[in-house]
Structure 1
């Protein structure tokens, strides 16, 4: 049995968790499913096929010098061994990044990641900070909150505010060239909110650092186990929990 809280953080009832929350923890499958999802979203990339051909060419035989492609000044270019030469084996745009996984493996990984959200030891091991028993189930009134202030007040009374603060303080400048490409900051993943009707809560909670708002239909391994590490701190509304039970309860 799991406790259901109202917006004031008080227990109002107890419900039985769907059978999917008692699935075996399979970190190997979760990692595999996560890598498949990420690799299938990658965009193929590669160098231009004739890059460098416009500025360097071989002078040919008869000049007493090697046939390496040269600039008009006679300086060697284009070849991988020369200054500013191209890569020897650059990325190819025709490379196939997509990976496959059995449907039943993907389903089992999703259910395993779902059950991990109800295991306090796994959730704490992931680094989350909270003062409430998991899984956190809240009354459906939570879905009707229209302001970020209201959401923060409810989260604080539920004992989850410390994790939001952890994500806020953990924001840092990314290492590498990604910071030049519109990905300047990295923010730790915090609370996952699973709701039945996201119309209001998506706007009021979606801008909190590290917080994601999804419906039971949108749940996947990437949301439940960011980075392939299961045990994300998750808040379920009562309606969302019933939907999860209807969808996966008999699996």
Structure 2
């Protein structure tokens, strides 16, 4: 009887999942909103651009510089003293002094005195970048997001089975609730990066926490969709997650802080919008 049972077990057919299709260069898997592989997608030629970290950082620095607000000290700061100057040849240093005392005032280096070279509002903080360099920096940042090693080196956490960038069917753009958004991120294997961003929120050091910048928040996944109206409702409040459109892509969004390799999720139609971009 044992022998017959063994033969029956041997004849049972074990259902096996079909292996995922083999990928060619510049190819990634196409996922559905349940995280299942439904095919492959050829990345646009712009993803074959050479990685130029120097151009990326130059463009990101320009973005940050152009947001700076000019500032300066009050025109008469440090000059509100009634001082006298005794002139030369008195055997004491030639410093303006408060009348009736020997206390130096008003001059740089004295208590309550003016600054030697104070900041002025006329200073131009903005930086210019050539249009071709700015486009090249954006394209180089796009090329970096398809390399799993570069994305991992930036600190992002995702499943080793997930291909980057993550390309999903257009049903992604119909997700409106936060619960559906979390289920989707878990299904495609990138929710660990959201958890990393949430755990990394901390109080900033220095005076910035008194000036509206109290917390530092790590950057998490970037979602690129054709229509972001619905998607923002589901993904907009998740820690570290940003939602944008192909028109909103630039070096700073794709490489925050000038470090290339941000974990990025594309909808299929948003990826197709990049086909016309020159490499």
**TM-score relative to the length of structure 2:** 0.83
Q: Which moved more, 1:229-238 or 1:197-206?
A: 197-206
Task: List gaps (5 residues or longer) in structure 2.
Answer: 1-26
**Residue 3 (structure 1) aligns with:** 29
Measure the CA separation in 2 of the matches of 1:71 and 1:41: 45
Is the aligned partner of 1:239 residue 2:269?
yes
Select 2:135's aligned residue among 99, 103, 107: 107
Measure the CA separation in 2 of the matches of 1:108 and 1:60: 60
Measure the CA separation in 2 of the matches of 1:117 and 1:82: 54
Measure the CA separation in 2 of the matches of 1:69 and 1:146: 69
Q: State how many pairs are aligned.
A: 247
**TM-score relative to the length of structure 1:** 0.92
> What is the correspondence of 1:33-182 to structure 2 with a 5 Å cutoff?
33-53=59-79, 55-61=80-86, 68-70=96-98, 75-131=103-159, 132-182=162-212
1:211/1:71 CA distance change after superposition, 3 Å: farther
How far the C-alpha of 1:183 sits from its partner, in A, is 0.6
CA RMSD of aligned residues (A): 1.9
Measure the CA separation in 1 of the matches of 2:258 and 2:97: 47
Q: Judge conservation of contact 1:56–1:72 (CA < 8 Å) in 2.
A: no
Select 1:213's aligned residue among 243, 247, 250: 243
How far the C-alpha of 1:43 sits from its partner, in A, is 1.2
**Residue 10 (structure 2) aligns with:** none
Measure the CA separation in 2 of the matches of 1:199 and 1:72: 71
How far the C-alpha of 1:38 sits from its partner, in A, is 1.3
**Larger-gyration structure (1/2):** 2
Measure the CA separation in 2 of the matches of 1:26 and 1:71: 62
